[in-house]
Structure 1
């Protein structure tokens, strides 16, 4: 039977293709219905801070989606400022400027009230960094201080936010996130009674002071995109580096 060809039936072939397309469309519709149903159930049963499609609120505890939502909200200057304003955070816009070959201040604010005082007070930050700092202070730092130290934190002591330099102050190499005011280095916490909890001296303390520092470091990892501290390297032995840029890193 050399050269035999199976007879074609155009009408039957068309019907098979038509039914195959209908089956694919039906499967796609069913899949979307399942997704929408799951989203509806999640929205009613799961807290907003765990759901990435829910609006970010500073009053919500830190959840699974907080870091993603903070980075997304912070990318829009109006949204970022609106969230802070609704939370009672006072800030002033910092004029844009460029310094050197790679340093710039753009979309930066200076926090003035609505969280523990910053020391020094001059700490310009891009809005997404400021927003993350507010969330961390309210939902991580203050609850940890109340629970472990029995009082609130009166001020956040830092080594700076904006600095026109490369990483580790080297003459060459990657540009630091500080060069765009997208980072802050937290060195310590002054308590209501005047005591100071220092990263440099209290990190290894086995008591409440060290427990507090580890609690707030771990909490920062759930808010900031990058959190680096004494466990990361010797350069961070005396502070927490917190920034909202680049990939996820917690150390």
Structure 2
């Protein structure tokens, strides 16, 4: 009931037209909830392990946390897309205080940590180091039914439990991208290193261009595994 009431309230607030443009399409495994971006073909048969649906109490607490942070969102129905790809206990972020591109289904825990990271990690770092506001966070997306590159294991993206951040657009017109600026000038490097370190405190897994070539142009954040992997 909590989720339904919250979802209806947001739909009224944002308007049905806004939701139509949000681009959320709950389709089969072949259709992503966000633009597809890179889709890797498995090098071996994919191992599928279906994640458990979060307990109702845990999900309600997470959504209450989003509301307490003044984050606008709508709950999404649990989906099993086949092939091990799922979106369980997921939400669609509508407004986190800073526009963010390509955000589709995200597990509530991932969504809450992402919103907090942008608000309390990225924005203050931009003000202090770059002397400007963050006007937009660009991502390659969230849910994507695919395996880890070169692996036979499904990515956390296949469970709506990961997001890939590619760039930040500033109020003075600058665009700081992971691909071009990870090894850029001193200030942009410092900014990216600070927001990377901040992410490592919030997400279970954080991967940067220092991890491997597949991450040369983005930060990968997810809430899977045992946590504590930051590279």
- Identify the residue that residue 139 of structure 2 maps to in structure 1: 158
Structure 2 residue corresponding to 1:147, chosen from 110, 128, 133: 128
**Displacement of 1:114 after TM fit?**
2.8
Secondary structure of the corresponding residue to residue 119 of structure 1: coil
How many aligned positions are there?
177
* TM-aligned CA distance change 1:188 to 1:75, over 3 Å: farther
Structure 1 residue corresponding to 2:174, chosen from 166, 176, 195: 195
Secondary structure of the corresponding residue to residue 162 of structure 1: coil
Supply the distance in 2 between the matched residues of 1:106 and 1:203 (Cα, whole angstroms).
Answer: 33
Secondary structure of the corresponding residue to residue 93 of structure 2: strand
Q: Please tell me whether the aligned partners of residues 124 and 161 of structure 1 are also in contact (alpha carbons under 8 angstroms).
A: yes
Deviation string 1:45-98 (CA, Å, 9 cap, x unpaired) is xxxxxxxxxxxxxxxxxxxxxxxxxxx999811000001101110001122211
Secondary structure of the corresponding residue to residue 153 of structure 2: coil
Aligned pair 1:233/2:215, yes or no? no
- Identify the residue that residue 200 of structure 2 maps to in structure 1: 221
Aligned pair 1:178/2:157, yes or no? yes
CA RMSD of aligned residues (A): 1.9
Q: Please tell me whether the aligned partners of residues 162 and 181 of structure 1 are also in contact (alpha carbons under 8 angstroms).
A: yes
Supply the distance in 2 between the matched residues of 1:157 and 1:75 (Cα, whole angstroms).
Answer: 32
User: What residue ranges of structure 2 are gaps of 5+ in the alignment?
Assistant: 1-53
Secondary structure of the corresponding residue to residue 104 of structure 1: strand
Counterparts of 1:34-183 in structure 2, within 5 Å, are: 76-120=58-102, 122-168=103-149, 170=150, 173-183=152-162
**Displacement of 1:100 after TM fit?**
2.2
Q: Please tell me whether the aligned partners of residues 74 and 131 of structure 1 are also in contact (alpha carbons under 8 angstroms).
A: no
Supply the distance in 1 between the matched residues of 2:55 and 2:219 (Cα, whole angstroms).
Answer: 23
Supply the distance in 1 between the matched residues of 2:62 and 2:81 (Cα, whole angstroms).
Answer: 25
Higher Rg of the two aligned structures:
1
TM-score scaled by structure 2?
Answer: 0.73
- Identify the residue that residue 222 of structure 2 maps to in structure 1: 243
Q: Deviation above 4 Å: which 4+ runs of structure 1? A: 72-75
**Displacement of 1:159 after TM fit?**
0.7
Supply the distance in 1 between the matched residues of 2:132 and 2:55 (Cα, whole angstroms).
Answer: 31
Structure 2 residue corresponding to 1:212, chosen from 191, 202, 206: 191
Supply the distance in 2 between the matched residues of 1:194 and 1:100 (Cα, whole angstroms).
Answer: 42
Supply the distance in 1 between the matched residues of 2:99 and 2:112 (Cα, whole angstroms).
Answer: 15
Larger relative CO (CA 8 A, sep 6+): 1 or 2?
A: 2
TM-score scaled by structure 1?
Answer: 0.67
Q: Please tell me whether the aligned partners of residues 159 and 186 of structure 1 are also in contact (alpha carbons under 8 angstroms).
A: yes
